[in-house]
Amino acid sequence: MTNPPLPEAWQHAEVPQLPAIGPDVVDEFARTIYGRTPEGGRLTELVLRSRENGVLDGAADRLRHHAVIACPLGNLELDTITHLPAGASAEHPVPVVVALNFKSDEVPSAKVMQAGYAVLAVDYQQIEPDNPAPPTPGVRALFPTKTTETTDTTEPWGAVAAWAWGLSRLLDIADGIEGVDPTEPVVLGHSRLGKAALWAGAQDQRFAVTVTNGSGCCGASLFRHPGGEDIAAITTKFPHWFVPSFSTYAGNESNLPVDQHQLLASIAPRRVYVASAEDDAWADPVGEYLAVVAARPAFGPNGIGYHVRPGTHDLLEEDWLQALDFAKR
């Protein structure tokens, strides 16, 4: 399942007692952790703003698009960046990775381009600001909220769910870009954006492969494995990421009705890849690995993959390349 062999601490780790894997858990994750994603969001305009050929030492062409997405209460406008491997065209389209970036100038490496995938990305804060009280609202403000008069007790959806919604909209955009084949797409994210990638993969059946890197608490790591960030820490620092009631499980993880191996398993029979770093203690990499072990029965052969590398909390070229190698199998 992993190459090179696992570090010794991983080899001796044991899966804790966990909730059983079963059907229809996605709704429970929405209710308990991420919030229910509302219906809506339609791509209405996609304009190519620029094209630079031969970037990344000739390995890619860089396209910048402006997209308009109609939501119930207004439009969301996104400025996306796409890197197409050299030679990609309408006659020879390539599969696509959709991803969220932490900053607008992030680009994949030439080796990632040589792996044969287009990469379509956007700065994640264009979708929803990473702020519990943002000065400028994001996409969540473009959907109606529940009123006190209704008997529906659904809580507001969190920022992680909003970013996951955005990943699905990037896939809509990919369908309109010449040279991109959107039929077997990969969704990829790191850290908080790895949480969003998992939630997008669980909800959007179009994603063939979901890749989550260093996603930790509320991502790939188990709540019931002690180590790293916990519910108390994450809901104190980032309350806007989740439904408000999620914080009631702080210090009470054993009573949480779900755990993250179930989220991984919910994506089956589509495929999942989890990546960890040995020294990324806050993400509990052993807990990420154990979630993969616990989820494996839901997948067929080569349905879920994993690697752990030396180093700290980052998304490196080697993480990209191992994940894309898995996606090709």
What long-range pairs does 144-148 form, CB within 8 A, spacing at least 24? 144/38, 144/72, 144/73
| Strand residue runs (E) in 199-298 | 209-213, 271-277
Residue of 109, 245, 247, 313 marked catalytic: 313
191 counts as catalytic: yes
Residue of 168, 191, 221, 266 marked catalytic: 191
Burial class (CB in 10 A: 0-12, 13-18, 19+), 64: middle
Which residues have a Cβ under 8 Å from the Cβ of 2 and sit 6 or more positions away? 306, 307, 308
313 counts as catalytic: yes
Strand order in the sheet with 209-213: 42-54, 60-71, 74-85, 118-123, 94-101, 180-190, 209-213, 271-277, 304-309
What is the Cα–Cα distance from 118 to 134, expressed in whole angstroms? Answer: 32
Residue 163: how many other CB atoms lie within 10 Å: 27
Catalytic residue list: 191, 313
